[in-house]
Amino acid sequence: MIPIPFDPEIHLGPFSLAWHGIFTAVGIFFGVSLPIRLLRGRVTEDAAWAVATWGVVGGITGARLLHVIDRWDFYSEHLDQIVAIWTGGIAVWGAAIGGVLGGFIVALRRRDVPIGASADAAAAGLSLGFGIGRIGDIINGEHHAVACDNVGICVGYTHPATLGQVGPVHLVVAYDMAWDLLGVALVLILMRTALARPPQGRIFWSWVLWYALGRFMLGYLRIGDPTPFLGLRQDQQVAVIAAAVALPALALVQANVLPRVLRLIPRPST
């Protein structure tokens, strides 16, 4: 068993900051920087930052909203804690959904932003941001997992203030981080293939399928969340829904139907 001895928070006098929040911020920075770099020369820097900024706002809002809904039994009695995101408590699926919607809405209002190509680049940024954010989860130990029988990464949390388990348990968030970083590699490889040519958007939906598959499989190694439907955790249920959306969307992009529909939407000049 690998011991993890870290305090889940940094204490600065009367103030405390969760490691989760620190690496969430780092993940956002690099998650935004990568797609902007990938789109350099195709999208103006002003347009890229406009879309990225609202993607971040949507991501943070969605991540916190889904977490609050998931833990409403606590927040209904502590309403003042709903906006205290700096203490930790976000749902990654909420970040993915909110970030995509926030960026998409702004991109639709800019004629100089190619939706498909931007979505493909955003997939790499989302996956990188999620992977970096998982470092905070590893330190905090806030995602509990099943017992580890020497097959896998077996850890135990030893700090008296830790949120983690005594162990040995699977370090599932590290598996999740590895899946996210492999997702970055997958997107970057696909961007060198014919999938990067029109109709664009296929790489994004392929990444959604990749990410959904990983979250669904790894969900079986996690514990602590309700399983109200077919014995599936909430994140597994969202993964099934995401895959159910991604499969037909991928087919519609491949058939050039979805890009044509998007071109019919009026977009004001910039």
Q: Within 10 A of 15 (CB to CB), how many other CB atoms are there?
A: 9
Residue 87 is predicted with a pLDDT of 62
What is residue 222's predicted lDDT score, i.e. its pLDDT? Answer: 92
Q: What is the pLDDT of residue 188?
A: 96
pLDDT of residue 11: 84
Side chain identity, residue 15: F
**248 CA to centre of own chain:** 21
Handedness of CA 34, 37, 39, 45 (dihedral sign): positive
Q: How far is CA 237 from CA 215, 220, 251, in A?
A: 10, 12, 22
DSSP structure class, residue 79: G
Task: Using alpha carbons, select from 199, 184, 213 the residue that is nearest to residue 34.
Answer: 184
- Is there a contact between 163 and 141 (Cβ–Cβ < 8 Å)? yes
For position 86, what pLDDT does the model report?
A: 62
The pLDDT assigned to 135 comes to 94
Q: Which residues of the chain have pLDDT under 70?
A: 85-89, 226-228, 264, 267-270
Q: Give the chain's largest Cα–Cα span.
A: 60
Q: Are 80 and 74 in contact (CB under 8 A)?
A: no
pLDDT at 95: 83
Give the pairing of strands 2-4 and 154-157: parallel
Structure confidence by residue, pLDDT tens digits, 86-123: 666 677 878 888 888 888 888 888 777 888 889 999 99
* Block residue for tokens 């099943």: 146
Domain boundaries, the chain: 2-264
pLDDT of residue 227: 67
pLDDT for residue 261: 80
pTM of the model: 0.88
